[in-house]
Structure 1
Amino acid sequence: MIKVGLFIPTLNAGKEFKKVLDRINQQSGDFELRKLIIDSESSDDTVQLAQQAGFEYQTIPVQTFTHGKVRHYAVEKMSDCDYIIFLTQDVYLQKNAIANILYFIKTHHQIAIAYGRQIADVNTVGWLDALDRQNNYPSKSAIKNWKNRRKYGLKTVFSSDAFAIYRRDVLLELGNFPLTVNFSEDMLMAAKAVQKGYSIGYCATAICEHNQKLNYHQLYQRYRKIGEFHHQYPWIKQKFGSANSQGISLVIGEMKFLISRGLLYLIPSLVIRSGIKYIGYKLG
Protein backbone atom coordinates (compact mmCIF):
# COMPACT_ATOMS: atom_id res chain seq x y z
CA MET A 1 0.00 0.00 0.00
CA ILE A 2 1.28 3.46 -0.90
CA LYS A 3 2.21 5.61 2.07
CA VAL A 4 1.16 9.24 1.83
CA GLY A 5 2.25 11.98 4.20
CA LEU A 6 -0.14 14.85 4.88
CA PHE A 7 1.25 18.04 6.37
CA ILE A 8 -0.37 21.24 7.67
CA PRO A 9 1.52 24.25 9.08
CA THR A 10 -0.60 25.70 11.88
CA LEU A 11 -1.00 28.84 13.96
CA ASN A 12 -4.19 29.44 15.98
CA ALA A 13 -6.32 27.53 13.47
CA GLY A 14 -9.51 28.40 15.36
CA LYS A 15 -12.77 26.65 15.95
CA GLU A 16 -13.24 25.62 12.30
CA PHE A 17 -10.06 23.50 12.41
CA LYS A 18 -12.00 20.51 13.72
CA LYS A 19 -14.03 20.51 10.51
CA VAL A 20 -10.78 20.59 8.49
CA LEU A 21 -9.49 17.57 10.43
CA ASP A 22 -12.80 15.70 10.18
CA ARG A 23 -12.79 16.12 6.39
CA ILE A 24 -9.28 14.66 6.27
CA ASN A 25 -10.24 11.67 8.39
CA GLN A 26 -13.25 10.99 6.16
CA GLN A 27 -10.95 10.40 3.17
CA SER A 28 -10.54 6.80 2.04
CA GLY A 29 -8.68 4.88 -0.63
CA ASP A 30 -5.84 2.48 -1.33
CA PHE A 31 -3.26 4.38 0.68
CA GLU A 32 -1.90 4.69 4.20
CA LEU A 33 -1.98 8.23 5.55
CA ARG A 34 0.59 9.66 7.95
CA LYS A 35 -0.49 13.03 9.35
CA LEU A 36 1.67 15.82 10.72
CA ILE A 37 1.36 19.44 11.84
CA ILE A 38 4.19 21.84 12.63
CA ASP A 39 2.73 24.47 14.92
CA SER A 40 4.03 28.00 15.49
CA GLU A 41 3.21 28.35 19.19
CA SER A 42 -0.58 28.44 18.94
CA SER A 43 -2.36 29.85 21.97
CA ASP A 44 -5.65 28.05 21.23
CA ASP A 45 -6.40 24.31 21.12
CA THR A 46 -4.98 23.73 17.61
CA VAL A 47 -2.40 21.15 18.75
CA GLN A 48 -4.87 19.30 20.98
CA LEU A 49 -7.41 19.03 18.16
CA ALA A 50 -4.74 17.73 15.79
CA GLN A 51 -3.59 15.11 18.30
CA GLN A 52 -7.17 13.95 18.84
CA ALA A 53 -7.46 13.53 15.05
CA GLY A 54 -4.39 11.29 14.93
CA PHE A 55 -1.78 13.85 13.88
CA GLU A 56 1.83 13.88 14.97
CA TYR A 57 3.01 17.33 15.93
CA GLN A 58 6.12 19.42 16.21
CA THR A 59 6.43 23.02 17.34
CA ILE A 60 8.72 25.83 16.21
CA PRO A 61 9.11 29.39 17.55
CA VAL A 62 6.76 31.67 15.66
CA GLN A 63 9.62 34.13 15.02
CA THR A 64 11.53 31.50 13.02
CA PHE A 65 8.63 30.43 10.79
CA THR A 66 8.98 30.47 7.02
CA HIS A 67 6.82 28.62 4.51
CA GLY A 68 9.91 26.95 3.14
CA LYS A 69 11.31 25.90 6.52
CA VAL A 70 8.23 24.07 7.83
CA ARG A 71 7.74 22.22 4.55
CA HIS A 72 11.44 21.35 4.41
CA TYR A 73 11.19 19.87 7.91
CA ALA A 74 8.02 17.96 7.01
CA VAL A 75 9.68 16.38 3.97
CA GLU A 76 12.61 15.31 6.12
CA LYS A 77 10.43 13.98 8.93
CA MET A 78 8.13 11.93 6.66
CA SER A 79 10.98 9.96 5.11
CA ASP A 80 8.88 6.79 4.97
CA CYS A 81 6.31 8.34 2.61
CA ASP A 82 6.19 8.02 -1.19
CA TYR A 83 4.10 11.16 -1.65
CA ILE A 84 3.48 14.20 0.52
CA ILE A 85 0.30 16.26 0.50
CA PHE A 86 0.46 19.86 1.67
CA LEU A 87 -2.67 21.56 3.00
CA THR A 88 -3.38 24.79 4.81
CA GLN A 89 -5.38 25.01 8.01
CA ASP A 90 -8.44 26.55 6.36
CA VAL A 91 -9.06 24.03 3.56
CA TYR A 92 -11.98 21.59 3.58
CA LEU A 93 -11.34 18.51 1.46
CA GLN A 94 -14.31 17.21 -0.50
CA LYS A 95 -15.17 13.52 -0.94
CA ASN A 96 -12.36 11.42 -2.52
CA ALA A 97 -10.07 14.46 -2.85
CA ILE A 98 -6.98 12.57 -1.69
CA ALA A 99 -7.78 9.42 -3.67
CA ASN A 100 -8.36 11.47 -6.83
CA ILE A 101 -5.20 13.57 -6.63
CA LEU A 102 -3.12 10.50 -5.74
CA TYR A 103 -4.51 8.58 -8.73
CA PHE A 104 -3.82 11.57 -10.98
CA ILE A 105 -0.14 11.85 -10.05
CA LYS A 106 0.39 8.08 -10.04
CA THR A 107 -0.99 7.63 -13.55
CA HIS A 108 0.99 10.52 -15.04
CA HIS A 109 4.53 9.47 -14.28
CA GLN A 110 6.13 12.67 -15.57
CA ILE A 111 4.25 14.80 -13.03
CA ALA A 112 6.33 15.92 -10.04
CA ILE A 113 3.65 18.08 -8.40
CA ALA A 114 -0.11 18.16 -8.76
CA TYR A 115 -2.52 20.62 -7.18
CA GLY A 116 -6.23 20.30 -6.65
CA ARG A 117 -9.22 22.43 -7.51
CA GLN A 118 -10.24 25.11 -5.03
CA ILE A 119 -13.84 26.25 -4.87
CA ALA A 120 -15.33 29.00 -2.72
CA ASP A 121 -18.75 29.73 -1.30
CA VAL A 122 -19.85 32.99 -2.92
CA ASN A 123 -22.07 33.72 0.09
CA THR A 124 -18.99 33.60 2.33
CA VAL A 125 -16.32 35.31 0.23
CA GLY A 126 -18.35 37.38 -2.24
CA TRP A 127 -18.40 37.33 -6.03
CA LEU A 128 -14.96 38.81 -6.66
CA ASP A 129 -12.99 36.34 -4.55
CA ALA A 130 -15.13 33.49 -5.90
CA LEU A 131 -14.39 34.60 -9.48
CA ASP A 132 -10.66 34.64 -8.76
CA ARG A 133 -10.99 31.02 -7.58
CA GLN A 134 -12.95 30.02 -10.70
CA ASN A 135 -10.34 31.52 -13.01
CA ASN A 136 -7.37 29.97 -11.23
CA TYR A 137 -9.05 26.59 -10.76
CA PRO A 138 -11.19 25.70 -13.80
CA SER A 139 -13.29 22.57 -14.28
CA LYS A 140 -10.83 20.87 -16.66
CA SER A 141 -7.59 19.18 -15.58
CA ALA A 142 -4.28 20.12 -17.22
CA ILE A 143 -0.65 19.04 -17.48
CA LYS A 144 1.90 21.84 -17.86
CA ASN A 145 5.56 21.48 -18.81
CA TRP A 146 8.46 23.06 -20.68
CA LYS A 147 7.05 22.08 -24.08
CA ASN A 148 3.74 23.90 -23.62
CA ARG A 149 5.08 26.83 -21.57
CA ARG A 150 4.25 29.29 -24.36
CA LYS A 151 0.59 28.29 -24.09
CA TYR A 152 0.42 28.75 -20.32
CA GLY A 153 3.07 31.44 -19.76
CA LEU A 154 3.73 32.05 -16.07
CA LYS A 155 0.76 29.77 -15.30
CA THR A 156 3.03 26.90 -16.38
CA VAL A 157 4.53 26.98 -12.91
CA PHE A 158 1.42 28.02 -10.99
CA SER A 159 0.65 25.64 -8.15
CA SER A 160 -0.89 25.94 -4.71
CA ASP A 161 0.25 24.37 -1.47
CA ALA A 162 -3.22 25.01 -0.06
CA PHE A 163 -3.84 21.55 -1.56
CA ALA A 164 -1.04 19.88 -3.50
CA ILE A 165 0.73 16.54 -3.73
CA TYR A 166 4.44 16.03 -4.37
CA ARG A 167 6.57 13.01 -5.23
CA ARG A 168 8.92 12.96 -2.28
CA ASP A 169 11.86 11.55 -4.25
CA VAL A 170 11.57 14.39 -6.78
CA LEU A 171 11.41 16.95 -3.97
CA LEU A 172 14.71 15.62 -2.67
CA GLU A 173 16.16 15.65 -6.19
CA LEU A 174 15.23 19.34 -6.39
CA GLY A 175 16.98 20.02 -3.10
CA ASN A 176 13.83 20.21 -0.95
CA PHE A 177 12.19 23.54 -0.04
CA PRO A 178 14.72 26.32 0.66
CA LEU A 179 14.62 27.24 4.33
CA THR A 180 14.51 30.98 3.66
CA VAL A 181 11.69 31.22 1.10
CA ASN A 182 8.66 32.72 2.81
CA PHE A 183 6.11 33.09 0.03
CA SER A 184 5.22 31.37 -3.26
CA GLU A 185 7.29 28.36 -2.26
CA ASP A 186 4.89 26.31 -4.39
CA MET A 187 5.72 28.28 -7.56
CA LEU A 188 9.44 28.05 -6.82
CA MET A 189 9.38 24.26 -6.55
CA ALA A 190 7.14 23.99 -9.62
CA ALA A 191 9.58 26.12 -11.64
CA LYS A 192 12.51 24.00 -10.49
CA ALA A 193 10.62 20.83 -11.42
CA VAL A 194 9.75 22.06 -14.92
CA GLN A 195 13.36 23.06 -15.49
CA LYS A 196 14.36 19.50 -14.63
CA GLY A 197 12.01 18.12 -17.26
CA TYR A 198 9.05 17.26 -15.02
CA SER A 199 5.44 18.35 -15.45
CA ILE A 200 3.04 20.17 -13.14
CA GLY A 201 -0.46 18.72 -12.95
CA TYR A 202 -3.78 20.33 -12.17
CA CYS A 203 -6.37 17.79 -11.02
CA ALA A 204 -9.87 19.25 -11.33
CA THR A 205 -11.49 16.17 -9.76
CA ALA A 206 -9.61 16.63 -6.47
CA ILE A 207 -11.68 19.37 -4.89
CA CYS A 208 -11.39 21.40 -1.72
CA GLU A 209 -13.36 24.34 -0.39
CA HIS A 210 -11.15 27.32 0.43
CA ASN A 211 -13.06 30.38 1.59
CA GLN A 212 -10.19 32.81 1.92
CA LYS A 213 -11.54 36.35 1.83
CA LEU A 214 -9.00 39.18 1.68
CA ASN A 215 -9.72 42.80 2.49
CA TYR A 216 -7.90 45.59 0.61
CA HIS A 217 -4.99 45.70 3.04
CA GLN A 218 -4.53 41.92 2.98
CA LEU A 219 -4.75 41.93 -0.82
CA TYR A 220 -2.04 44.58 -0.99
CA GLN A 221 0.20 42.64 1.39
CA ARG A 222 -0.27 39.43 -0.58
CA TYR A 223 0.63 40.97 -3.92
CA ARG A 224 3.54 42.87 -2.44
CA LYS A 225 4.92 39.52 -1.23
CA ILE A 226 4.40 38.07 -4.71
CA GLY A 227 6.35 40.99 -6.15
CA GLU A 228 9.13 40.47 -3.61
CA PHE A 229 9.24 36.78 -4.55
CA HIS A 230 9.70 37.55 -8.25
CA HIS A 231 12.35 40.13 -7.39
CA GLN A 232 14.18 37.45 -5.39
CA TYR A 233 13.83 34.83 -8.15
CA PRO A 234 13.84 36.84 -11.42
CA TRP A 235 14.74 33.80 -13.50
CA ILE A 236 11.20 32.47 -13.19
CA LYS A 237 9.68 35.35 -15.16
CA GLN A 238 12.63 35.34 -17.55
CA LYS A 239 11.97 31.70 -18.45
CA PHE A 240 8.18 31.56 -18.26
CA GLY A 241 6.99 35.11 -18.92
CA SER A 242 5.24 37.91 -17.09
CA ALA A 243 1.79 37.77 -15.54
CA ASN A 244 0.77 41.20 -16.90
CA SER A 245 -1.17 40.04 -19.97
CA GLN A 246 -2.86 37.26 -17.99
CA GLY A 247 -3.86 39.75 -15.32
CA ILE A 248 -5.44 42.09 -17.87
CA SER A 249 -7.34 39.19 -19.46
CA LEU A 250 -8.56 38.11 -16.04
CA VAL A 251 -9.93 41.56 -15.20
CA ILE A 252 -11.68 41.86 -18.59
CA GLY A 253 -13.19 38.39 -18.18
CA GLU A 254 -14.43 39.11 -14.68
CA MET A 255 -15.89 42.45 -15.79
CA LYS A 256 -17.81 40.75 -18.61
CA PHE A 257 -19.13 38.17 -16.13
CA LEU A 258 -20.34 40.87 -13.73
CA ILE A 259 -22.10 42.70 -16.58
CA SER A 260 -23.76 39.48 -17.78
CA ARG A 261 -25.08 38.79 -14.28
CA GLY A 262 -26.27 42.34 -13.71
CA LEU A 263 -23.72 42.84 -10.93
CA LEU A 264 -22.68 46.27 -12.15
CA TYR A 265 -22.33 47.62 -8.61
CA LEU A 266 -19.29 45.36 -8.14
CA ILE A 267 -17.32 46.83 -11.06
CA PRO A 268 -15.81 49.71 -8.99
CA SER A 269 -14.62 47.17 -6.40
CA LEU A 270 -13.11 45.04 -9.18
CA VAL A 271 -11.22 48.06 -10.53
CA ILE A 272 -9.99 49.03 -7.04
CA ARG A 273 -8.89 45.45 -6.27
CA SER A 274 -7.06 45.22 -9.58
CA GLY A 275 -5.25 48.47 -8.88
CA ILE A 276 -4.26 47.34 -5.40
CA LYS A 277 -2.88 44.05 -6.80
CA TYR A 278 -0.87 45.92 -9.43
CA ILE A 279 0.53 48.51 -7.02
CA GLY A 280 1.39 45.91 -4.39
CA TYR A 281 3.14 43.73 -6.95
CA LYS A 282 5.15 46.61 -8.42
CA LEU A 283 6.20 47.93 -5.00
CA GLY A 284 7.32 44.42 -4.06
Structure 2
Amino acid sequence: MSSARGLVAAQSARFAALDPLLPPAAEPPGDGHVVTAALADGTRVAGVICHESFEPHSTTRLWSAAEVWELLPLVGTAQGMDALLSRFRRYLDTQEIGEDTACVVHWPSRDTVAARAFLDHGLVPLSVLGVRLRTPVSPMPRTLTIRRATLSDLDSVVELSLAELEYSSLVGSTIVRPEAPALKRRALTERLNNASPIWLAERDGIAVGLVECAIVVSEPGTSAALRLPQGRWGYVNCVSVLPGARGSGVGQQLVAHAHHELHRTGVVGTYLYYNPPNPLSSVFWPRQGYRPLWTVWEVRPASGLR
Protein backbone atom coordinates (compact mmCIF):
# COMPACT_ATOMS: atom_id res chain seq x y z
CA MET A 1 0.00 0.00 0.00
CA SER A 2 1.73 3.17 -1.18
CA SER A 3 -0.32 5.32 1.19
CA ALA A 4 0.12 3.00 4.17
CA ARG A 5 2.81 5.10 5.84
CA GLY A 6 0.64 8.23 5.77
CA LEU A 7 -2.36 6.30 7.08
CA VAL A 8 -0.28 4.81 9.90
CA ALA A 9 0.89 8.29 10.93
CA ALA A 10 -2.66 9.67 10.79
CA GLN A 11 -3.99 6.71 12.73
CA SER A 12 -1.28 7.11 15.37
CA ALA A 13 -2.25 10.77 15.80
CA ARG A 14 -5.91 9.82 16.15
CA PHE A 15 -5.09 7.09 18.68
CA ALA A 16 -3.12 9.58 20.77
CA ALA A 17 -6.07 11.98 20.74
CA LEU A 18 -8.52 9.22 21.69
CA ASP A 19 -6.57 7.73 24.59
CA PRO A 20 -3.09 8.58 25.92
CA LEU A 21 -2.45 4.94 26.84
CA LEU A 22 -2.81 3.66 23.27
CA PRO A 23 0.48 2.74 21.58
CA PRO A 24 1.14 4.18 18.10
CA ALA A 25 -0.51 2.40 15.18
CA ALA A 26 1.64 -0.32 13.66
CA GLU A 27 2.56 -1.01 10.05
CA PRO A 28 0.22 -3.71 8.70
CA PRO A 29 1.65 -7.18 8.00
CA GLY A 30 2.73 -7.87 4.47
CA ASP A 31 1.22 -11.34 4.13
CA GLY A 32 -2.50 -10.53 4.34
CA HIS A 33 -5.13 -9.56 1.78
CA VAL A 34 -5.20 -5.79 1.17
CA VAL A 35 -8.55 -4.01 0.86
CA THR A 36 -9.05 -0.34 0.04
CA ALA A 37 -11.99 2.06 -0.24
CA ALA A 38 -12.51 5.63 -1.45
CA LEU A 39 -14.53 8.06 0.66
CA ALA A 40 -16.85 10.79 -0.57
CA ASP A 41 -14.20 13.49 -0.05
CA GLY A 42 -11.71 11.62 -2.22
CA THR A 43 -9.53 10.27 0.58
CA ARG A 44 -8.77 6.56 0.75
CA VAL A 45 -8.73 4.07 3.57
CA ALA A 46 -7.15 0.65 3.61
CA GLY A 47 -6.82 -2.48 5.65
CA VAL A 48 -5.31 -5.93 5.73
CA ILE A 49 -7.33 -9.11 6.23
CA CYS A 50 -5.41 -11.88 7.97
CA HIS A 51 -6.64 -15.46 8.09
CA GLU A 52 -5.67 -18.00 10.74
CA SER A 53 -6.72 -21.56 11.58
CA PHE A 54 -6.06 -23.19 14.95
CA GLU A 55 -5.28 -26.87 15.36
CA PRO A 56 -7.78 -29.05 17.28
CA HIS A 57 -5.53 -29.38 20.33
CA SER A 58 -4.52 -25.72 20.53
CA THR A 59 -5.43 -23.89 23.74
CA THR A 60 -6.35 -20.89 21.56
CA ARG A 61 -9.51 -22.75 20.54
CA LEU A 62 -10.80 -22.42 24.11
CA TRP A 63 -11.37 -18.69 23.56
CA SER A 64 -11.51 -18.50 19.78
CA ALA A 65 -13.30 -19.97 16.81
CA ALA A 66 -11.27 -22.59 14.96
CA GLU A 67 -10.90 -20.31 11.94
CA VAL A 68 -10.63 -16.53 12.15
CA TRP A 69 -10.52 -13.68 9.66
CA GLU A 70 -9.16 -10.52 11.29
CA LEU A 71 -9.37 -7.07 9.76
CA LEU A 72 -6.52 -4.67 10.57
CA PRO A 73 -7.96 -1.28 9.57
CA LEU A 74 -5.98 1.80 8.54
CA VAL A 75 -8.63 4.50 8.45
CA GLY A 76 -6.51 7.38 9.72
CA THR A 77 -9.46 9.54 10.78
CA ALA A 78 -12.86 9.00 12.34
CA GLN A 79 -14.34 8.16 8.95
CA GLY A 80 -13.99 5.17 6.68
CA MET A 81 -14.66 2.19 8.95
CA ASP A 82 -18.06 1.56 7.39
CA ALA A 83 -16.57 1.46 3.89
CA LEU A 84 -13.75 -0.82 4.99
CA LEU A 85 -16.14 -3.26 6.68
CA SER A 86 -18.17 -3.40 3.47
CA ARG A 87 -15.01 -4.42 1.60
CA PHE A 88 -14.38 -7.01 4.31
CA ARG A 89 -17.84 -8.48 3.66
CA ARG A 90 -17.21 -8.61 -0.10
CA TYR A 91 -13.93 -10.43 0.47
CA LEU A 92 -15.64 -13.03 2.67
CA ASP A 93 -18.04 -13.74 -0.20
CA THR A 94 -15.05 -15.26 -2.02
CA GLN A 95 -14.21 -17.62 0.86
CA GLU A 96 -15.59 -20.96 2.03
CA ILE A 97 -16.93 -20.28 5.52
CA GLY A 98 -17.96 -22.94 8.00
CA GLU A 99 -19.73 -22.68 11.35
CA ASP A 100 -16.70 -22.68 13.68
CA THR A 101 -15.48 -19.36 12.29
CA ALA A 102 -15.32 -15.69 13.26
CA CYS A 103 -14.59 -12.21 11.99
CA VAL A 104 -12.61 -10.08 14.44
CA VAL A 105 -11.48 -6.47 14.72
CA HIS A 106 -9.45 -5.05 17.63
CA TRP A 107 -10.15 -1.33 17.99
CA PRO A 108 -9.70 1.41 20.63
CA SER A 109 -12.63 1.33 23.03
CA ARG A 110 -13.08 5.11 23.07
CA ASP A 111 -13.68 5.40 19.32
CA THR A 112 -17.47 5.60 19.43
CA VAL A 113 -17.72 6.62 15.76
CA ALA A 114 -16.16 3.32 14.74
CA ALA A 115 -18.33 1.48 17.27
CA ARG A 116 -21.43 2.56 15.35
CA ALA A 117 -20.01 1.07 12.16
CA PHE A 118 -19.15 -2.21 13.89
CA LEU A 119 -22.66 -2.57 15.27
CA ASP A 120 -24.21 -1.77 11.89
CA HIS A 121 -22.18 -4.57 10.30
CA GLY A 122 -23.21 -7.18 12.85
CA LEU A 123 -20.13 -7.23 15.08
CA VAL A 124 -20.57 -7.29 18.86
CA PRO A 125 -18.17 -6.28 21.67
CA LEU A 126 -17.46 -9.73 23.10
CA SER A 127 -14.21 -8.85 24.88
CA VAL A 128 -12.44 -5.81 26.27
CA LEU A 129 -8.78 -5.35 27.12
CA GLY A 130 -8.88 -3.40 30.37
CA VAL A 131 -5.90 -1.69 31.98
CA ARG A 132 -5.08 -0.50 35.48
CA LEU A 133 -2.03 1.66 36.08
CA ARG A 134 0.02 0.94 39.15
CA THR A 135 -1.53 2.62 42.17
CA PRO A 136 -1.14 2.05 45.91
CA VAL A 137 -3.18 -0.93 47.09
CA SER A 138 -4.97 -0.27 50.35
CA PRO A 139 -4.96 -3.18 52.80
CA MET A 140 -8.32 -4.87 53.11
CA PRO A 141 -9.69 -7.25 55.71
CA ARG A 142 -8.62 -10.83 54.98
CA THR A 143 -11.16 -13.57 55.64
CA LEU A 144 -9.37 -16.19 53.56
CA THR A 145 -6.04 -17.92 53.33
CA ILE A 146 -4.32 -16.85 50.11
CA ARG A 147 -1.20 -18.68 49.07
CA ARG A 148 0.91 -19.47 46.02
CA ALA A 149 -0.29 -22.55 44.14
CA THR A 150 2.09 -25.46 43.60
CA LEU A 151 2.00 -28.57 41.45
CA SER A 152 0.35 -30.47 44.32
CA ASP A 153 -2.66 -28.14 43.85
CA LEU A 154 -3.08 -29.08 40.18
CA ASP A 155 -6.52 -30.72 40.59
CA SER A 156 -7.95 -27.69 42.40
CA VAL A 157 -6.39 -25.26 39.93
CA VAL A 158 -7.81 -27.15 36.95
CA GLU A 159 -11.26 -27.36 38.58
CA LEU A 160 -11.37 -23.62 39.19
CA SER A 161 -10.04 -22.79 35.74
CA LEU A 162 -12.69 -24.97 34.09
CA ALA A 163 -15.41 -23.34 36.22
CA GLU A 164 -14.37 -19.94 34.85
CA LEU A 165 -14.28 -21.30 31.28
CA GLU A 166 -17.77 -22.75 31.59
CA TYR A 167 -19.28 -19.55 32.97
CA SER A 168 -17.50 -17.33 30.43
CA SER A 169 -18.74 -19.49 27.55
CA LEU A 170 -22.27 -18.31 28.39
CA VAL A 171 -21.42 -14.61 28.22
CA GLY A 172 -18.33 -14.20 26.07
CA SER A 173 -15.99 -15.63 23.47
CA THR A 174 -14.77 -18.78 25.25
CA ILE A 175 -15.86 -22.24 24.11
CA VAL A 176 -16.17 -25.38 26.20
CA ARG A 177 -14.74 -27.98 23.83
CA PRO A 178 -14.47 -31.72 24.63
CA GLU A 179 -10.68 -31.44 24.89
CA ALA A 180 -10.86 -28.51 27.37
CA PRO A 181 -10.01 -30.50 30.55
CA ALA A 182 -6.92 -32.05 28.96
CA LEU A 183 -5.78 -28.74 27.44
CA LYS A 184 -6.22 -26.92 30.73
CA ARG A 185 -4.39 -29.60 32.69
CA ARG A 186 -1.48 -29.57 30.26
CA ALA A 187 -1.16 -25.78 30.23
CA LEU A 188 -1.54 -25.38 33.99
CA THR A 189 0.94 -28.17 34.70
CA GLU A 190 3.51 -26.28 32.65
CA ARG A 191 2.77 -22.99 34.42
CA LEU A 192 2.98 -24.52 37.86
CA ASN A 193 6.24 -26.26 36.94
CA ASN A 194 7.56 -22.87 35.85
CA ALA A 195 6.42 -21.24 39.12
CA SER A 196 4.08 -18.88 37.31
CA PRO A 197 2.30 -16.38 39.59
CA ILE A 198 -0.84 -18.33 40.51
CA TRP A 199 -2.60 -17.93 43.84
CA LEU A 200 -5.33 -19.92 45.55
CA ALA A 201 -7.85 -18.66 48.09
CA GLU A 202 -8.82 -21.20 50.72
CA ARG A 203 -11.65 -21.25 53.22
CA ASP A 204 -11.40 -23.89 55.95
CA GLY A 205 -8.69 -25.61 53.91
CA ILE A 206 -10.82 -25.83 50.74
CA ALA A 207 -9.79 -23.96 47.58
CA VAL A 208 -12.64 -21.62 46.59
CA GLY A 209 -10.86 -19.14 44.32
CA LEU A 210 -8.02 -18.80 41.85
CA VAL A 211 -6.09 -15.95 40.25
CA GLU A 212 -3.68 -16.90 37.48
CA CYS A 213 -1.24 -14.23 36.29
CA ALA A 214 1.85 -13.66 34.18
CA ILE A 215 4.48 -11.00 33.57
CA VAL A 216 4.47 -9.51 30.06
CA VAL A 217 7.04 -7.08 28.68
CA SER A 218 5.85 -4.61 26.04
CA GLU A 219 8.78 -3.50 23.91
CA PRO A 220 9.33 -2.83 20.19
CA GLY A 221 8.85 -5.95 18.11
CA THR A 222 6.65 -7.79 20.62
CA SER A 223 2.96 -8.56 20.20
CA ALA A 224 2.27 -6.79 23.50
CA ALA A 225 3.56 -3.53 21.99
CA LEU A 226 0.56 -3.53 19.62
CA ARG A 227 -1.81 -3.14 22.57
CA LEU A 228 0.07 -1.66 25.55
CA PRO A 229 2.45 1.19 26.34
CA GLN A 230 6.03 0.06 26.67
CA GLY A 231 7.05 -1.40 30.00
CA ARG A 232 6.69 -4.41 32.26
CA TRP A 233 3.04 -5.38 32.81
CA GLY A 234 1.20 -7.82 35.01
CA TYR A 235 -1.32 -9.90 33.09
CA VAL A 236 -4.34 -11.17 35.03
CA ASN A 237 -5.21 -14.17 32.89
CA CYS A 238 -7.93 -15.88 34.92
CA VAL A 239 -9.88 -15.15 38.08
CA SER A 240 -12.29 -17.87 39.16
CA VAL A 241 -14.47 -18.35 42.22
CA LEU A 242 -16.50 -21.50 42.79
CA PRO A 243 -20.25 -20.88 42.31
CA GLY A 244 -21.12 -21.41 45.97
CA ALA A 245 -18.54 -18.84 47.10
CA ARG A 246 -19.36 -16.04 44.66
CA GLY A 247 -20.54 -12.74 46.09
CA SER A 248 -18.67 -13.21 49.37
CA GLY A 249 -15.56 -11.14 48.63
CA VAL A 250 -13.31 -13.98 47.46
CA GLY A 251 -12.55 -12.38 44.10
CA GLN A 252 -11.85 -8.96 45.60
CA GLN A 253 -9.41 -10.35 48.15
CA LEU A 254 -7.66 -12.46 45.53
CA VAL A 255 -7.25 -9.58 43.09
CA ALA A 256 -6.00 -7.21 45.80
CA HIS A 257 -3.40 -9.82 46.75
CA ALA A 258 -2.37 -10.33 43.11
CA HIS A 259 -2.02 -6.58 42.55
CA HIS A 260 0.18 -6.28 45.63
CA GLU A 261 2.41 -9.17 44.57
CA LEU A 262 2.66 -8.06 40.95
CA HIS A 263 3.49 -4.48 41.97
CA ARG A 264 6.38 -5.84 44.01
CA THR A 265 7.95 -7.07 40.76
CA GLY A 266 8.05 -3.53 39.37
CA VAL A 267 5.21 -3.63 36.84
CA VAL A 268 3.89 -0.32 35.48
CA GLY A 269 0.35 -1.65 35.65
CA THR A 270 -1.84 -4.66 35.07
CA TYR A 271 -4.19 -5.65 32.27
CA LEU A 272 -6.75 -8.33 31.51
CA TYR A 273 -9.57 -9.30 29.18
CA TYR A 274 -13.17 -9.37 30.33
CA ASN A 275 -16.53 -9.81 28.61
CA PRO A 276 -18.91 -6.82 28.52
CA PRO A 277 -21.96 -9.16 28.36
CA ASN A 278 -20.81 -10.82 31.60
CA PRO A 279 -23.04 -9.41 34.38
CA LEU A 280 -20.38 -10.18 37.00
CA SER A 281 -17.07 -9.14 35.42
CA SER A 282 -18.48 -6.05 33.67
CA VAL A 283 -19.22 -4.63 37.14
CA PHE A 284 -16.39 -6.24 39.13
CA TRP A 285 -13.40 -5.11 37.06
CA PRO A 286 -14.21 -1.39 36.88
CA ARG A 287 -14.57 -1.48 40.68
CA GLN A 288 -11.03 -2.87 40.87
CA GLY A 289 -9.73 0.10 38.89
CA TYR A 290 -9.73 -1.27 35.33
CA ARG A 291 -11.00 0.65 32.35
CA PRO A 292 -11.36 -0.33 28.67
CA LEU A 293 -8.45 0.31 26.31
CA TRP A 294 -9.24 -1.99 23.37
CA THR A 295 -12.50 -3.66 22.38
CA VAL A 296 -12.52 -6.94 20.48
CA TRP A 297 -15.42 -6.77 18.04
CA GLU A 298 -16.50 -10.16 16.75
CA VAL A 299 -19.17 -12.01 14.83
CA ARG A 300 -19.63 -15.79 14.74
CA PRO A 301 -19.84 -17.47 12.34
CA ALA A 302 -17.88 -15.24 9.98
CA SER A 303 -20.72 -15.37 7.44
CA GLY A 304 -22.76 -13.23 9.86
CA LEU A 305 -20.79 -10.11 8.92
CA ARG A 306 -23.11 -7.69 7.17
Greater strand percent: which structure?
2
TM > 0.5: no
Provide TM-score, normalisation by structure 2: 0.27
Greater helix percent: which structure?
1
Provide TM-score, normalisation by structure 1: 0.28
Q: Which has the higher contact order (CA 8 A, sep 6+)?
A: 2
Task: Flag the structure with larger Rg.
Answer: 2
